[in-house]
Structure 1
Amino acid sequence: MLSVNAAHNIVGIIGNVISFGLFLSPVPTFWRIIKKKDVEEFQPIPYLATVLNCLFWVLYGLPIVKKDNILVFTINLFGFIVEMIYVGIYLLYSEKKKRNRVLLILGGESVFFVVMVLIAMLAFKFKNRALFVGIICDVFNIIMYGSPLAVWRKVIMTKSVEYMPFFLSLAGFANGCIWTTYALIKFDLFILISNGLGAILGGIQLILYACYYPSTPKKNKGKDAGKPSEVQLAGQNAV
């Protein structure tokens, strides 16, 4: 029979694999931007938000905040690097006004993160540090889970799932479920809150898909690329 530690690690590795795939899911979109040398109507805000979100989960995964969280640390470090590459591609092919706005946001995020790290390290002892950082992580995750709501509204209004790809929706739901399980094996309230909500929203998204797939025009079914500004899925946070 598996020990608690072994089960915890196995589930965490599965979660890493799914999250790895989710982080790489926008690659076709950015490859299109590179080929066209144009960002078109692409909206960088969700990716900028994910950069900061990953940074805080990286901090949460460090031994100076919480011990035995290496799997949380590794996948979010990977996510941070990937998201920064996406943002870098946007900066390379966007016009000056858009580029300056993104750089301003990145600068603001950097200052905010450094300030929060200093507060966590200097104002809190180790036993309370995870509480402070965990609350910040959950607040950001909950805010980010609001991004699919616009897509849900579009699905309901158009009665079409064109901009809600099935496999990404399924992966987002699975991601939330796996990390919820991870949080329950060795109880972690902050990972549980974040991913429990993600699993619920991911489940709702799959229900919407089932309801509106039959009414989606045939030419749009399975159109998984979508517009980069449209595809924001529930449960797509790494942790």
Structure 2
Amino acid sequence: MNKEVWIIVTQVLGNIFVSLIVLSAIPTFWRIEKTQNVGKLNIYPFVVFCGSSMSWVAYGSLCNVVGVVPVNCLAMLFNLLYISIFLSASQDKLKNRKVTLSFFLYISFMVSFILILYWLVTPHYISQILGWFCSILTSIFIFSPIFFFYYMIKEKSVESLSVTMSAICLCSGTTYSIYGLLIKDYFVMVPNVIGVIFKFENPINDLDWVRGEAD
């Protein structure tokens, strides 16, 4: 296959894998909607994911990297839905105010930043600045599971582990790393390479953790 075909293949596969990651939270939020109980769910990674998706939509649209636009539109919409369900179900008014304020300030900053770039910066520098910005946000999201590992160690629980999801994240990162390499866009490639390195041992570690708990 020639290069153009590989670009299309990796683009489609990357969109599929990321869509699976986004949609995997549906059962959790369906349960929250039904029970009106958020439990100990940490909603902030979803807030970060929403903003990160918005930045990639802007980057893909302004810099003509169409492969990252569709799935990030999907991710942005579903994360908005997840956050709305969380806020409607949570009985902790103080937490709701904190989440709402954090989300409002975060998204307001994102929108303002993107608009300022669009109006005041030349296209070449837009791609550089927005590319770095997207890479940093994606890296933050990639490392956010560290907080879940802290919770699991503290509670001695494997409830939130998913070996399958770790494997899907690994496939997603690998696919988008190849896609970024093929289109010579290192802002797409580098954060996904970081994600692959970070996620590479997770399925094995998750299995070891579960086996250890079972013993």
- TM-score, normalised via structure 2 length: 0.91
Partner Cα distance (1:86, 1:156) in 2: 26
SS of structure 2 residue aligned to 1:216: helix
Question: Residues 79-158 of structure 1 correspond to what in structure 2 (within 5 A)?
Answer: 79-95=75-91, 96-153=93-150
Q: Give distance in 2, aligned partners of 1:9 and 1:208.
A: 33
- Residues 135 and 167 of structure 1, relative CA distance in 2, 3 Å threshold: same
Report deviation, 1:154: 6.0
Contact 2:3 2:182 in 1 (8 A): yes
- Structure 2 unaligned spans of 5+: none
Checking the alignment, whether the CA contact within 8 Å between 2:164 and 2:203 is kept in structure 1 is no
Matched, 1:164 2:154: no
- Provide the TM-score with structure 1 as the length reference: 0.82
Deviation at 1:209, TM superposition (A): 2.4
* Root mean square deviation of aligned Cα: 2.0
Secondary structure class of the residue paired with 1:10? helix
The amino acid that maps onto 1:34 is E
Mapped contact 1:155–1:212 kept (Cα < 8 A) = no
Q: Which runs of 5 or more structure 1 residues have no equivalent in the other structure?
A: 219-239
Secondary structure of 1:58's partner? helix
- 1:15 equivalent in structure 2: 14
Q: Which has the higher helix share?
A: 2
Distance in 1 between the 2:156 and 2:102 partners? Answer: 35
- Which letter does structure 1 place at the counterpart of 2:31? R
Distance in 1 between residues matched to 2:155 and 2:84, nearest whole Å: 33
Which residue in 2 is equivalent to 1:193? 190
Q: Distance in 2 between matches of 1:157 and 1:40?
A: 16
SS of residue matched to 1:145: helix
Quote how far apart the aligned CAs of 1:215 are. Answer: 1.5
SS of structure 1 residue aligned to 2:143: coil
Higher mean displacement: 90-99 or 18-27: 90-99
Q: Is the 8 A contact 1:160 1:212 kept in 2?
A: no
3-state SS, counterpart of residue 163 of structure 1: coil
Q: How many residues align?
A: 214
1:130-184 Cα distance to aligned partner (Å, 9 max, x none): 1110111111112222212234456678887543211011111111111101111
Instruction: Kindly state the Cα deviation for residue 16 of structure 1 after the two structures are TM-superposed.
Output: 0.5
Give 1:199 shift: 0.5
Deviations 1:165-212 (A, max 9, x none): 110111111111111011111111111111000011110212312433
For 2:71 and 2:108, locate their aligned partners in 1 and report how far apart those are by CA, in whole Å.
23
Residue of structure 1 equivalent to 2:41: 42
Residue of structure 2 aligned with 1:70, choices 41, 66, 73 = 66
Classify 1:189/1:154 alpha carbon distance in 2 versus 1 (closer, same or farther; 3 Å). Answer: same
CA distance in structure 2 between the aligned counterparts of 1:208 and 1:137, rounded to whole angstroms:
28
Q: Which amino acid in 1 is paired with 2:47?
A: L
